[in-house]
Structure 1
Amino acid sequence: MENVISLILEALQSDFILRAILVGSLIAISCSFLGIFLVLKKYSMIGDGLAHVSFATIAIALLLNKSPLVVSIPLVILSSFLILKLNEKAGLHGDAAIALISSFAVAVGVLITSVAKGFNIDLFSYLFGSILVISKLDVLLSIILSTVVIFITLFFYNNLFAITYDEEFATVIGLNPKSMNYLITILTSITVVLGIRVVGTMLISSMIIFPTVTALQISKGFKDTILIASLISVASVIIGTLLSYILNFPTGAVIVIINAICFVILFSINKFN
């Protein structure tokens, strides 16, 4: 026990651990703020789809020797717009449009990876996260963009709340559900790209879904769900980062497993009460 405590204290004195916790917590809060809108609107899988798209954009960035964040954010946003357009114009349901775009993006990413074999190790870190090697630039961009996501979500909270529960009613009171849906996808795109450093493209959608569905097991209202989801998500990041340091496990995987454990516990409590 004393050894574990000493390892935790040692970890908290390391700059890279503190950077990992700071960035991870900001991403966790962003995911929690957006998660409830995505889950209740049945857009949960858009996070997974955009994560697959980000795999291709990161491959492109590494091929061009550019910053993955700078390349991925605009391309992932454009892909999210394409998903919505396919949903509106081609008569495809959301899940079909997501599947089309994400599968094409993965194919492009695999093709680029096979052509340029030199960056396979770098790409692996983006697939499964590399929170413990976050740079100062990652920290700065994460702080700025996460703040923007949280601020915009709070600023448009009433509008987002209205379209989440009833788009027809939102239209009657003068809102434009289509523009709000685009806003949600833009914020989700940014959050997905930022979250790649935390848990990787393969696991980022779980940070959007798990805290929200966990909070829904015990919450009494919309705001309660966001608050509880944020607390669960941030706690999972902090505990997961420290545990991964102590046990030498992949950080992203540990964070997601802790989220899953929280869900099982609260689901069981809700089920048997």
Structure 2
Amino acid sequence: MDIFLEPFFQRALIGGILIGLTAPLMGTFLVLRRLSMIGDTLAHVSIAGVALGFLINVYPLGTGLLFALLASFAIEQLRKTYRTYAELSIAIIMSGGVALATLLFTLGKGFNMNVMSYFFGSVYTLDTADIAVVGGVSALVLIVICLHFKEFFLMFFDEEAASVSGLPVRAYNIAVTMLTALVISVSIKIVGALLVSALLTIPVACSLVVGRSFRHSVGMAVLYSEVAVMIGLVVAGVWDLAPGATVVLTLIVLLIGTLTFKMGLRRRA
């Protein structure tokens, strides 16, 4: 297929593969923390940053990334304040992000069409700078996860035990939230702010069905994600469809197929 020879499609594949690797890694820890919806929150805040970038003529992905990082700090601070109602922090930040994005839209109506591409994804418009940012974030996530995998595992399964054992729990919580913010902010141009949460959670949902251990579940989540990204981008490229939508729909098909297969095995047993 000639589309594989096109530079824009090659950049799209590189960006998709990198995000397909890092998103489920962070998603696994978010699911364990029962913070699956944080993806939508940080994505909406990132959109506000992107809108500001267009408004002041600054690299939009950079301003979106900065906004997501600031939001991650705010979420952790609110989680500390409302310990019993930790999910309240997500609702507060999401409301603020949507309100700020709406305000910025009204201030710069001329760039609304450009911002819309970040809502629904525009993987085929990735340039060299975008790939460099995505690659840098991916490298950072992989390094941190590899160096502190055991600590993260202990903390998210039993935070109290981790604290008693001397782990800096608050620092690790902030680190994970910040890494998640980075991944989400660079993902919105690939799958879109409205769909980025799916790339964080659906591969994890698939892996929890077939995973035999935590490490195996993490590996399976990455595998599901990469398969969906590759199939989704190829289908979108060949039939001229929305790439973010085809990736997410492929994930849903994989989830349904996995659940059906698992139910079939249980019935036979």
Do both proteins adopt the same fold according to a TM-score greater than 0.5, normalized to the shorter chain?
A: yes
**Within-5 A mapping of 1:1-273:** 9-91=1-83, 93-273=85-265
Q: Is the 8 A contact 2:48 2:67 kept in 1?
A: no
Q: 1:65 to 1:155 in 2, by over 3 A?
A: same
Instruction: Tell me, in whole angstroms, the C-alpha distance in 2 between the residues paired with 1:234 and 1:198.
Output: 14
Report how many residues are paired: 265
Q: 1:124 to 1:210 in 2, by over 3 A?
A: same
TM-score by length of 1: 0.94
Q: Is the 8 A contact 1:241 1:255 kept in 2?
A: yes
Q: Percent identity?
A: 30
Offset, 1:81: 1.1
Runs (4+) off by over 4 Å: none
Partner of 1:4: none
Q: AA paired with 2:14?
A: L
Q: Is the 8 A contact 1:84 1:94 kept in 2?
A: no
Q: AA paired with 1:262?
A: L
Q: AA paired with 1:63?
A: L
Instruction: Tell me, in whole angstroms, the C-alpha distance in 2 between the residues paired with 1:61 and 1:49.
Output: 19
TM-score by length of 2: 0.95
Q: Is the 8 A contact 1:59 1:112 kept in 2?
A: yes
Instruction: Tell me, in whole angstroms, the C-alpha distance in 1 between the residues paired with 2:47 and 2:103.
Output: 11
- CA RMSD between the two structures: 1.1
Q: 1:65 to 1:142 in 2, by over 3 A?
A: same
Instruction: Tell me, in whole angstroms, the C-alpha distance in 1 between the residues paired with 2:154 and 2:189.
Output: 32
Q: AA paired with 1:67?
A: Y
Q: Is the 8 A contact 2:19 2:183 kept in 1?
A: yes
Instruction: Tell me, in whole angstroms, the C-alpha distance in 1 between the residues paired with 2:146 and 2:83.
Output: 32
